[in-house]
Amino acid sequence: MLRKLLKYEFRATGRTFLPMFVAVVIISVVSRVLYSDNISQALQGSSWFVDLVYGMTAFMYVAVICAMFVMALIVLIQRFQKNLMGDEGYLMFTLPVRPWQLITAKSAAALVWSAASCAVAMLAVMILGSQYGGFFEGFGRAAESFAWFCFEVGVPVPLMIFEILLIMLVSFFSGAMMIYASIALGHLWPRHKNAGAIVSFAGLCIVMQVITTALTHILDSINFFNQDYNLQLFIWLIIAYLLLFTAAYFVITNYILSHRLNLE
Amino acid sequence: MTPILQCAALSKAYSSKYALSAIDLAVNRGRIVGLLGPNGSGKTTLIKIASGLLTPSGGSILIDGKAPGAETKSLVSYLPERTYLCDWMRVNDILDMFEDFYPDFGKAKSHEMLQRLGIGQTDRLKSMSKGTKEKVQLILVMSRSASLYLLDEPIGGVDPAARDYILRTIIGNYSENATVLISTHLISDVESTIDDVIFIQNGSIKLTSSVDDIREKHQKSVDELFREVFVC
């Protein structure tokens, strides 16, 4: 059933993301052509219209990439809010599936689209940057610096890359689950459920902040951050910490959707 | 055989107001049952609790002996009183979705009904009128071979010609052991279709009876008795 839910989730969201990805690539290619040395030198400053086109292209390049990330966040919220807690929820909650499968399908699809958005943004930077000599050498130098850093802290490069990707993954899920839990908590309000979701989100942020501060104080008090502190241990503590929050938000959301659902 | 739907002291409160107050009810298999009551009497609330969309405040409800959940949802075919279709889909997308999730969905049956009502399989749901969307939803619901059909106001929003077709569809499409629960206040339209009636008012069951008993004992039609019981 989870596979089927994922199929429909991707179909529902793909129609928003795929045209956006195409737009980012097109505007990147147009920018790359317009800003290539030969064309740029020949055209720029020739007339006010050409300058306007240049200005507009630069603006569109930045705007479309920003819009892609804003859209990823809006879709994450809307697919939960509208498709589950709105009228469409009358269909989704009468399918023979369990609430945890609905939550998992929504968050997994959102993760894939967010990762794809990051990949498309990187591609856009590469398309535009590829015209500049030394652009890819810059990448090479950055990679060397990263390898040097890994050597300095005594961690193999593949392990460090794996840990960074894992932190990004659990950060995404903790953020997504926090939003889902806020919407679910807002659903418990008898009226003004959207306001309830916003207040719940603020409440969860405060709780998370308080716990983070308390934990930092504890680590400080046991001299964890002394000069030769264990970076590996610290990274895995962050991962465990984010996983705990993710699990807590998931449990809250699943409990409300399973035992406190009231679609009105 | 256990009743397909059982309620024991089932209650639902919104803030301090009771939409259902401690109702006891048993609906048997193989019957077409009219859930009849004026507006705001608790018909939709009862159906939504049985569908798992509302959580009861007290008491219990069992579908085929089980509390509402993923298992009962595969037994229940529910028609809500509102549109739940995803706007981005075409008719054949939603048919595929029902076929994917409900093993009892009969696609051929749905094609036949769509053709009869003049709805194209590639029509976009977004551009349909409210009445056409309601027809599509009814076709989806009645194309399943479910054990329990919960139809909330299935004929409220459609024209009288389609109303007759829909009622004929309901009678023609359910199997011997299936139960159809139809909530409506258009009693004269459903009177010839239903076997049993449940009268509900202010969240309480006023009367449960077979239509034959009403005619024999009260010497009245269901419509006449309804007007008498719910006199304003």
Distance from CA of A263 to the nearest CA of B (A): 6
Domains identified in chain A, total number = 2
Residue of A nearest to B16 (CA): A190
Burial class (CB in 10 A: 0-12, 13-18, 19+), B129: exposed
Domain boundary among A131, A158, A185: A131
Max distance between CA atoms of chain A, in angstroms, equals 68
Confidence of residue A152 (pLDDT cuts 50, 70, 90): confident
Asked if residue A11 and residue A114 are part of one domain, the reply reads yes
What residues of chain A have any CB closer than 8 angstroms to a CB in chain B? 1, 4, 7-8, 11-12, 15, 83, 87-91, 93-98, 190, 259-263
| Least confident stretch, A36-45, A48-57, A180-189, A252-261 | A36-45
Q: What is the pLDDT of residue B153?
A: 87
Phi, psi of B210 (to 5 degrees): -85, 155
CB pair distance less than 8 Å for B52 and A94: yes
- One domain, residues A191 and A122: no
| A246 and A147 part of one domain | yes
Give the pLDDT score at A113: 95
Q: Does the pLDDT value for residue A109 go beyond 90?
A: yes
Q: Which chain A residues have a beta carbon less than 8 Å from that of B69?
A: 98
Which residue in the block uniquely carries the two structure tokens 């998370």? Answer: A208
- Closest approach of chain B CAs to the CA of A75, in angstroms? 14
Q: Are strands B196-201 and B76-79 parallel, antiparallel or unpaired?
A: unpaired
Q: How many contacts (CB atoms, under 8 Å) link A and B?
A: 63
Q: pLDDT tens track of chain B, all 232 residues?
A: 789 999 999 999 987 788 999 999 999 999 999 999 888 899 999 999 999 999 999 999 999 999 999 999 999 999 998 899 988 899 999 999 999 999 999 999 999 989 988 899 999 999 998 888 988 998 999 899 999 999 998 877 777 777 777 778 777 776 778 999 999 888 888 888 889 999 999 999 988 989 888 888 888 888 888 888 777 6
Q: Are B100 and B125 in contact (CB under 8 A)?
A: no
Residue A28 to chain B, least CA–CA distance (Å): 29
Asked whether the beta carbons of A126 and A31 are under 8 A apart, the reply is: no
CB contact under 8 A, A91 and B84: yes
User: Between A232 and B115, where is the model more confident?
Assistant: B115
Same domain (yes/no): A189, A112: no
Q: Using CA atoms, how far apart are residues B49 and B45, in angstroms rounded to an integer?
A: 6
Q: How far is CA B232 from CA B38, B186, B202, B226, B228, in A?
A: 10, 17, 13, 11, 9
Same domain, A169 and A112: no
Going by C-alpha positions, the residue among B219, B196, B223 that lies closest to residue B207 is: B196
Query: Do A1 and A121 reside in the same domain of the chain?
Result: yes
**Dihedrals phi, psi of B29, to nearest 5 degrees:** -80, 155
Structure tokens at A96: 């023979």
b/e sequence B85-107, b meaning 16+ C-beta within 10 Å: bbeebebbbbbbbbebbbeebbe
* Three state DSSP letters for chain A: CHHHHHHHHHHHHHHHHHHHHHHHHHHHHHHHHHCCHHHHHHHCCCCHHHHHHHHHHHHHHHHHHHHHHHHHHHHHHHHHHCCCCCCCHHHHCCCCCCHHHHHHHHHHHHHHHHHHHHHHHHHHHHHHHCCCCCHHHHHHHHHHHHHHHHHHHCCCHHHHHHHHHHHHHHHHHHHHHHHHHHHHHHHCCCCCHHHHHHHHHHHHHHHHHHHHHHHHHHHHHCCCCCCCCCHHHHHHHHHHHHHHHHHHHHHHHHHHHHHCCECC
Question: A166: which 2 tokens?
Answer: 């894992």
Minimal CA separation from B107 to chain A, in Å: 17
State how far the Cα of B204 lies from the Cα of B201, in Å rounded to an integer.
5
Residue A48 Cα distances to A33, A55, A60, A191, B103, angstroms: 19, 10, 18, 55, 65
Q: Domain ends where: A106, A131, A156?
A: A131
- % of chain A at pLDDT higher than 70: 98
- Residue in B53, B93, B97 nearest the CB of A261: B53
| β-pair type (B204-210, B196-201) | antiparallel
DSSP chain B: ---SEEEEEEEEEETTEEEEEEEEEEE-TT-EEEEE--TTSSHHHHHHHHHTSB--SEEEEEETTB-SSHHHHTTEEEE-SS----TT-BHHHHHHHHHHH-TTB-HHHHHHHHHHTT--TT-BSTTS-HHHHHHHHHHHHHTB--SEEEEESTTTTS-HHHHHHHHHHHHHHS-TT-EEEEEES-HHHHTTT-SEEEEEETTEEEEEEEHHHIIIII-S-HHHHHHHHT--
- What band does A172 get if pLDDT is binned at 50, 70 and 90? very high
Structure tokens at A30: 């147009």
The whole-number pLDDT of residue B232 equals 66
Q: How do residues A33-80 score in pLDDT, each as one tens digit?
A: 888 777 777 777 677 888 888 888 889 999 999 999 999 999 999 999
Cβ-nearest to A97 among B55, B70, B86: B70
Chain B residue at shortest CA distance from A262: B54
- Residue B176 pLDDT: 77
Residues of A in contact with B84 (CB under 8 A): 87-91
Which residue type, as a one-letter code, is found at position A217? Answer: H
pLDDT digits (tens, 9 = 90+) for B23-71: 999 999 999 999 998 888 999 999 999 999 999 999 999 999 999 999 9
- Which of chain B's residues have a Cβ under 8 Å away from the Cβ of A262? 53-55
Whether residue A46 sits in one domain with residue A94: yes
Q: Does residue A46 share a domain with residue A152? A: no
pLDDT recorded at residue A228: 66
Bridge partners, B23 (sequence order): B10
What pLDDT does residue A182 have? 97
What pLDDT is attached to residue A190? 85
Give the mean pLDDT of chain A.
90
Q: What pLDDT, on the 0 to 100 scale, is given for residue B227?
A: 83
| A8 and A116 fall within a common domain | yes
The predicted structure's pLDDT at residue B75: 94
Distances (CA, A) of B134 to A85, A87, A233, B167, B220: 20, 14, 59, 14, 32
Q: What is the ipTM of this complex?
A: 0.92
Which residue does chain B place closest to A102, by CA atoms?
Answer: B70
What is the predicted pLDDT for the residue at B100?
95
Kindly give the interhelix angle for A193-221 and A157-187, rounded to the nearest 10 degrees: 140
Query: Taking the model in full, what pTM does it have?
Result: 0.91
Instruction: Find the closest chain B residue to A92 by CA distance.
Output: B84
Query: What's the pLDDT score for residue A227?
Result: 63
- Name the minimum distance, in Å, from the CA of B217 to any CA of chain A: 39
Q: Which domain holds residue A138?
A: 133-264
Does A89 share its domain with A157? Answer: no
Q: So what's the pLDDT on residue B79? A: 94
> What local confidence, expressed as pLDDT, does residue A87 receive?
93
Of the residues A131, A159, A194, which one is the last residue of a structural domain?
A131
**Same structural domain, A33 and A126:** yes
Q: Alpha-carbon distance A178 to A205, whole Å?
A: 9
Considering only residues A222 and A202, tell me which one the structure prediction assigns the higher pLDDT: A202
Same domain assignment for residues A73 and A156: no
Statement: residue A242 has pLDDT above 70:
yes
